[in-house]
Amino acid sequence: MTTFPNFLDTVTTTLLGTKPLKENPRHRALLDAYTEVQNLEQRLLTAITTPPEPGTGVSGLMEACTDLLIERLDAGYELSRLLSADYCCAADVSEDDLCGLEQDEKCCQAPAEPTADLLDACSNVFAELGDPHAVASADLVDALRRLPGVAGNHWRYSDLTQARLAELLAPYGMQTRDITLPDGRRRKSYRREALLVALGVSDCC
């Protein structure tokens, strides 16, 4: 996806001598959510129409499609939530000062600072679940969404999706894997071992 401001936008601003426009984080969140839905639909379509690899059969195809469908439903819900949110400020301040905060928040103020480091927050979720060897991405996101504050970039914990969490954890070397969980489900999951490595601690127990 083309980012904003991109090369052409920057050149245009320079040639016209105009003031660079400030990106609204809420508008960016909407655009990111919409793009995520489109990408997941394309991936789902590709998975459905691509013949399964030899030996995987229909069950392998269904498993892959199920994971993508869950991600697509999650992304669709997030887009619907953003589109249906009420906003303030538009009638009270100039265009340059619009913040797009929801009505139950203090108008035109920057988002709150993070109340907990993301890795520590993930570690707390693992601990609350009894420190299993892995936690499903969807379950981890559901737990993190209950936290206040900002998870990373401009995303609050309450705004997290599986794709956003994956983007935030990737720099720490944490990626999801297809793992069979203690309850028998096979889901895209984060391993406790990878989280401990990211935290710089060893599992001595």
Q: What digits encode the pLDDT tens for the residues 66-75?
A: 888 888 888 8
HEC secondary structure over the chain: CCCCCCHHHHHHHHHHCCCCCCCCHHHHHHHHHHHHHHHHHHHHHHHHHCCCCCCCHHHHHHHHHHHHHHHHHHHHHHHHHHHHCCECCCCCCCHHHCCCCECCCCCCCCCCCCCCCHHHHHHHHHHHCCCCCEEEHHHHHHHHCCCCCEEECCEEHHHCCHHHHHHHHHHHCCCCEEEECCCCCEEEEEEHHHHHHHHCCCCCC
Q: What digits encode the pLDDT tens for the residues 134-193?
A: 999 999 999 999 998 888 877 889 889 998 899 899 999 999 999 988 888 889 999 999
Q: Spell out the domain ranges in the chain.
A: 23-109, 111-199
